[in-house]
Amino acid sequence: MLVCAGRAVQRRAQLRADTWNSSDEEDGVPHGAIARPRSRFDPRVVRSRNCANARKAQRAALRRRSERARDEERRRRTEEWERTLMLARASRVVARHNAEAGALRLVSTYHKMLQHGYLAIDIGRPRTLEIHDFMLSAMAGDIITPEFIGLTTFMQQWDLMSRFHSEVDFRAERLQLFPMDGAAKTYPSLAERDRDEAVYVVKSTGTTTLRISRLTVENIFPHILNDE
């Protein structure tokens, strides 16, 4: 027996079909219905996947940018540190060079000042005053020599040598800086100094010529006069 549905039933079935199709388009699920799974080719699925990939690419780009910034900062700090070290080394080299040049210049001036001796009794001569002022400014008051200690005695010896000889010629032909270790072997007192204290020892090689007169014999070699 063939039974045909009435028009009311057909309209209800058509209404349910229309509702099902519209729910798929609006991404909604009608009450009591089961949503159909979306295809991976569905534009909404593709759009969602593209958004996720874009966010992932953005995070990766931010991470790379941050790493580049850290690398750049590390490189900048390294270059700054190396530049600081280079400037410090250059400053030490320049300071040492200036100190060494100053030590050599000081000893050279000493030889030039005393090239023809020193007469303390001739205090009125400008040269004598110049030598006296130089020695006070350049020499330590407790200067040490193998025979005596003190600047006063040192200048007295120069005065005696100059007065008891008719001519004095004191020349330095070569000035050489001594290494600190080598100088400490020659002068043990230097080894007791602070290692951070800059000490420059200058080796002077030259010739001292003294012309002997009767005054020399009378004061330095008086026994020779006994043979006259």
The answer to whether 179 touches 202, Cβ cutoff 8 Å, is no
Please name the residue that has the structure tokens 């007295």. 156
Please tell me the predicted confidence (pLDDT) of residue 49. 65
212 vs 221: CA distance, rounded Å: 10
Q: How many domains does the chain contain in total? A: 1
Structure tokens at 43: 């534009």
Beta bridge partners of residue 175, listed in sequence order:
204
96 falls within a domain:
yes
Mean pLDDT, 10 residues at a time, the chain of 228 residues:
49 51 46 49 60 80 87 89 89 83 89 88 75 88 84 90 89 82 61 60 88 85 72
Please tell me the predicted confidence (pLDDT) of residue 3. 42
154 vs 90: CA distance, rounded Å: 39
74 vs 81: CA distance, rounded Å: 10
Beta bridge partners of residue 210, listed in sequence order:
168
49 falls within a domain:
no
70 falls within a domain:
no
Within the chain, residue ranges assigned H as helices are 7-25, 43-113, 126-138, 151-163, 180-186, 214-220, 222-225
The answer to whether 160 touches 215, Cβ cutoff 8 Å, is no
31 falls within a domain:
no
Please tell me the predicted confidence (pLDDT) of residue 224. 75
Please tell me the predicted confidence (pLDDT) of residue 110. 92
165 falls within a domain:
yes
7 falls within a domain:
no
53 vs 59: CA distance, rounded Å: 10
153 vs 143: CA distance, rounded Å: 9
The answer to whether 154 touches 145, Cβ cutoff 8 Å, is yes
23 vs 31: CA distance, rounded Å: 10
69 falls within a domain:
no
Please tell me the predicted confidence (pLDDT) of residue 32. 47
Please tell me the predicted confidence (pLDDT) of residue 169. 92
Please tell me the predicted confidence (pLDDT) of residue 7. 57
Please tell me the predicted confidence (pLDDT) of residue 2. 42
Identify the domain containing residue 167 by its residue range.
92-225
155 falls within a domain:
yes
